[in-house]
Every structure is written in C-alpha cells, then in structure tokens.
Homo-oligomer: A and B are copies of this chain.
Amino acid sequence: MISDTNITQAEAAAAQIRTLILNGTFQPGQPLRQEALSEQLNVSRTPLRHALQSLVEDGLVEATDYKGARVAALDPGMVDDLFEMRLLLEPLALKSAFQHHTKLDFAKAEMALDAAEAERQPSKLSALNWDFHHALYRPSNRQTLLKTIEQLNRASALAEVIASSIVARPEKSAAEHRKLLQACRNGDEAGAMSILSEHLRFAHHDIRNREE
C-alpha cells in the first residue's frame, strides 16, 4: 500500500454533510432524516449515524433521542462566547509558538494563505482559514490547547457562514493574515500578538453586524 489515506465511510459522509452545511445548502433548523441522507450520500444508515454523531460533537448538528437530528440553530450569545474565548486562547497559543522559534516553519501557513485567495467555496475557505492559524500555533506543541482552539474555530465557521461573512470579507481577512504572517517572520512577537487580537476582533465585529 502506497499511501495510507484510508478514510472511513462515516468520515467521508461527515465531511460531505459538513460541506453542505457550511455552504448553506442545509439551512439551520433543517431536519436531517437518516434514510433520505443515506440515499443522497450513497451510504448505509450505520456510517451515516456515526457521521451525524460526530457533527453533533462539532456543534454543527443538534440531535434528540428518537426525534432525529437537525442543523444547529446557533443561539444568540454563541458568537460572542466563541470570539471571547478565541481572544483569550489563540494569543496564548501564538505566544507559546514563539517560544519554540527553532521549530518555526511558515511554508504551510503561506500555502494555506495562497490557496485561500483562490478559493471561494465557504466550506473550503473555513478549512484553509484554520490551516493557516494552525500552522502558526503548531510549534507551541500544546496539543490539548490547540484541540480546543480548533473546536472553537470549527464552531465559528458555522456562524460566519450564517452571517455570510466568510464570503463577504475574504480579501480583508487575507490582508490581515498576510500582516500576521509577516510579523511572525520578522520575529516580532508583540506585533504579531496585537495583529492577531485585532484580526479576531474584526472578524467578531463583522459577523455581529451582519446578523439580524
């Protein structure tokens, strides 16, 4: 076997459903019936249920026993909570990454940034968004911290999509990312920290102002 990219059907289905949600095809509140979905995605109900369960843990889907699953309807305070947490945790990750400057490697970050500028599909944009941030935080080597931050980013992605913000401000976001990457390259820790915070505050603000 050459490449070990063994993906399970449940994971494939989860990825597809996630895409459908993040691209707005599946609207919040919409019921997700197992049989219909399994037909649509050409998988049996067994892996489909696993997919739904993992999406529940991601916060993209809500489910109740015997009553079925539906696309999550985000509660009002969710966006504020997510960004307040990110504003506390992500600078921490970046700071820790700077302390392992021997491991710093910005190639992946730049790749994600380049790819993002050519991408317009919301689900892929949000994935590349995280790839970029993750590339910067990774040298910190703090797996547990990064796992939590990743969850918060995933949840934010849904909010961004609903607010049509991820497609509305890609250039602005890209510019902020470039500034952030440059500061990291220069070893300007303080500068990078403040750019990151500002970036998160902008994103938060833009999402809020598009909600009605």
Name A residues whose Cβ lies closer than 8 Å to a Cβ of B: 6-8, 11, 46, 49-50, 53-54, 57, 65-66, 75, 77-78, 81-82, 84-85, 88-89, 92, 141-145, 148, 151-152, 155
Contacts and interface: CB of A to CB of B under 8 A. Distances in A.
8 contacts: A6-B65, A11-B65, A46-B46, A50-B53, A77-B142, A78-B143, A81-B144, A81-B148
A145 to B, nearest CB: 4
Nearest to A81: B144
Contacts of A151: 148, 151
Contacts of A85: 89, 145, 148
A6 B130 CA distance: 38
How many copies, total?
2
Contacts of A143: 75, 77-78, 81
A66 B9 CA distance: 12
- Interface of chain A: mostly helix, strand, loop or mixed: helix
Contacts of A78: 143-144
Select the residue from A78, A144, A152 with max chain B CB neighbours within 10 A: A144
Nearest to A74: B144
B77 A144 contact: yes
Contact of A66 (B6, B46, B81, B82): B6
A5 to B, nearest CB: 11
Contacts of A82: 144
Contacts of A92: 84, 88
8 smallest beta-carbon distances between A and B, as pairs: A81-B144, A57-B57, A81-B145, A78-B144, A88-B88, A8-B65, A81-B142, A77-B142
A67 B56 CA distance: 24
Nearest to A4: B65
Contacts of A142: 77, 81
A159 to B, nearest CB: 10
Given A53-B53, A77-B141, A148-B148, 11 more contacts: A6-B65, A11-B65, A50-B50, A75-B143, A81-B145, A82-B144, A84-B145, A88-B89, A88-B92, A148-B151, A148-B152
